[in-house]
Amino acid sequence: MSRFHPEGNKAAGVDAAAVDALAKQVKGLVLTPDDEQYDAERAGHQTTRRHRPDVIVSAAGPADVEAAVTFANGHGLPVAVQGTGHALSAVAAEGGVLINTSRMTDVRMNAEAGTVWVGAGVRWDQVIPEAVAAGLAPLSGSAPGVGVVSYTLGGGLGLLSRRYGYAADHVRSIDVVTADGRLRYVTEISDPDLFWALRGGRDNFGVVTGIEVDLMPITTIYGGGLFFDAGSAAEVLDTYARWTTTVPDEMTSSIALISFPEVPALPAPLRGRYVVHIRIAYAADTLGAGEGLVAPLRALNPFIDTVAEMPFTEGGSIHNDPPFPGAFESGTALLREFDSATVHALLEHVGHQAPVPHVVELRHLGGRLAHPSAVPNAVGHRDARYAINVVSRLERAEITDIRPAHERVFAEIAPWTTGGRALNFMNGENDAKDVASAYNPKDYQRLTELKAVYDPQNTFRLNHNIPPAVTG
């Protein structure tokens, strides 16, 4: 499948003969900026910023990833990775090697063991139907189109999280090509340090080619959405905040303030409207208690109510995240508390009158998320009670207006934040201090020390980077 130019592959700053040699070596595609397919291969769900590498290797399998990393090493180039392109990378590659994993889509279900092994290009929507058919559910998140590997290694906050914890807490093994170009099979036993660091450190320690994760004995949940008019935002948020302090661990939920655009693709009642959306995913062994648990929220008179028993395969309808690509800017924080005073502070800066259209999403943490992983990993901040994300689409506002507007929201709610962040919700430009804030300080120190062991040249730096510790 390798692609050649009759006149040789050209890449700025990279020897064309070396690119040709690489193209002969790999089974997948090797592309340079002159190639017609170059733009398609670097495109992803996020359209705000794209990698513009010297060379793209669209890997057909782990051997291609080994070849690409070895090639990058030989030329002193950094390596970026892209699966679905859902995350806005902290550093868009200008040069270097981009490894596109989207063709590595093998899935091996082991229903008896309750596990699944997936290749690096697999998205949750490929796993969910097969798992549910086998009587199981993965620890997937709000959007089924997100990639399994990156979601999981970034923590993985999903529909079943308060019952089972982070997806990163349920990883059995990881296949990874490290900076030395070597494919390693990493487990708790084979390499405990690297296994610890990958689960939370995500893309800082290598290119993951496959991952084996646990599945849970769930096929049906009591879930859906409750939509309220923005006029009752204060009351709904306040009630939700109190409600979250009472619910069992089997109840995972979030609430969002959403400014919907005026587009025909949306159902008429939501078009052009500012609404409050509560998302429910109740996953107990028997679902009978669900209705009673949701009753205090229903009492606030939602104008749309889709909460009912549903197969886990329909879980994507709970949040209804947009499945089409778009340009976003977002900010994130973890909160220690969310009460009437927080609601008041938040509503000062969001709503229909806010200077830029936005989605403000508050996810309820706690439950199993508050416990350490049975096999320790680098996912931190387990004492946080809520995660808050503020997202604005660039199609609807200027970046120069969005950034200050988001900053004002986070400044206003600062008294309730922990200072920490969830890596998976950190998009785009983040400085070293921001990246460090995704970890507990001791864990961050250990991550920098392990980075110095596994990636001393910081080959994997086109990411939310953990730099190698400087010793001596």
Ligand X SMILES: Cc1cc2nc3c(=O)[nH]c(=O)nc-3n(C[C@H](O)[C@H](O)[C@H](O)COP(=O)(O)OP(=O)(O)OC[C@H]3O[C@@H](n4cnc5c(N)ncnc54)[C@H](O)[C@@H]3O)c2cc1C
Q: How far is the CB of 411 from ligand X (least distance, A)?
A: 24
**Residue nearer to ligand X on the CB measure, 210 or 290:** 210
The interface region with ligand X, picked from 131-139, 152-160, 185-193, 450-458 by CB under 6 A, is 152-160
Using the rule CB under 6 A, is 156 a contact of ligand X? yes
Contact partners, residue 117, CB within 8 Å, separation at least 6:
106, 107, 108, 110, 173, 210, 211, 212
467: buried, middle or exposed (CB in 10 Å: 19+, 13-18, 0-12)?
middle
Yes or no: say if 425 and 330 are a contact pair by the CB < 8 Å rule.
yes
Give the x-and-dash track for 226-265 against ligand X (CB under 6 A): ----------------------------------------
Q: Which of 14, 22, 118, 120 binds ligand X (CB under 6 A)?
A: 120
Using the rule CB under 6 A, is 84 a contact of ligand X? yes
Using the rule CB under 6 A, is 143 a contact of ligand X? yes
The interface region with ligand X, picked from 26-34, 150-158, 277-285, 287-295 by CB under 6 A, is 150-158
Q: Which of 38, 71, 151, 416 binds ligand X (CB under 6 A)?
A: 151
Using the rule CB under 6 A, is 101 a contact of ligand X? yes
The interface region with ligand X, picked from 83-91, 186-194, 285-293, 347-355 by CB under 6 A, is 83-91
Number of amino acids touching ligand X (CB under 6 A): 31
Question: Under DSSP, is residue 115 helix (H, G, I), strand (E, B) or coil?
Answer: strand
Using the rule CB under 6 A, is 154 a contact of ligand X? yes
Question: Among 72, 116, 118, which residue's Cα sits nearest to residue 96?
Answer: 72
Report how far residue 59's alpha carbon sits from residue 67's, in angstroms, rounded to the nearest whole number. 9
**DSSP assignment, residue 107?**
E
How many other C-beta atoms lie within 10 A of the C-beta of residue 174? 26
Using the rule CB under 6 A, is 87 a contact of ligand X? yes
Give the x-and-dash track for 295-334 against ligand X (CB under 6 A): --------------------------x-------------
Using the rule CB under 6 A, is 95 a contact of ligand X? no
Q: Which of 208, 293, 310, 390 binds ligand X (CB under 6 A)?
A: 208
Q: Which of 29, 77, 157, 466 binds ligand X (CB under 6 A)?
A: 157
Report how far residue 357's alpha carbon sits from residue 391's, in angstroms, rounded to the nearest whole number. 9
Q: Which of 424, 430, 437, 448 binds ligand X (CB under 6 A)?
A: 424
In the Cβ-directed half-sphere of 322, how many Cα atoms lie within 13 Å? 18
Q: State the DSSP string of 270-286.
A: TTT-EEEEEEEEE--SS
Angle at CA of residue 97, ends 95 and 100, nearest 5°: 125
Using the rule CB under 6 A, is 165 a contact of ligand X? no
Contact partners, residue 466, CB within 8 Å, separation at least 6:
201, 204, 435, 444, 447, 448, 451
The interface region with ligand X, picked from 11-19, 151-159, 368-376, 409-417 by CB under 6 A, is 151-159
The interface region with ligand X, picked from 75-83, 219-227, 266-274, 297-305 by CB under 6 A, is 75-83
How many other C-beta atoms lie within 10 A of the C-beta of residue 168? 27
Using the rule CB under 6 A, is 293 a contact of ligand X? no
**DSSP assignment, residue 390?**
E
Using the rule CB under 6 A, is 225 a contact of ligand X? no
How many other C-beta atoms lie within 10 A of the C-beta of residue 257? 25
Q: Which residues bind ligand X (CB under 6 A)?
A: 44, 81-87, 89, 101, 120, 141-143, 146-147, 149-151, 154-158, 202-203, 207-208, 321, 424, 463
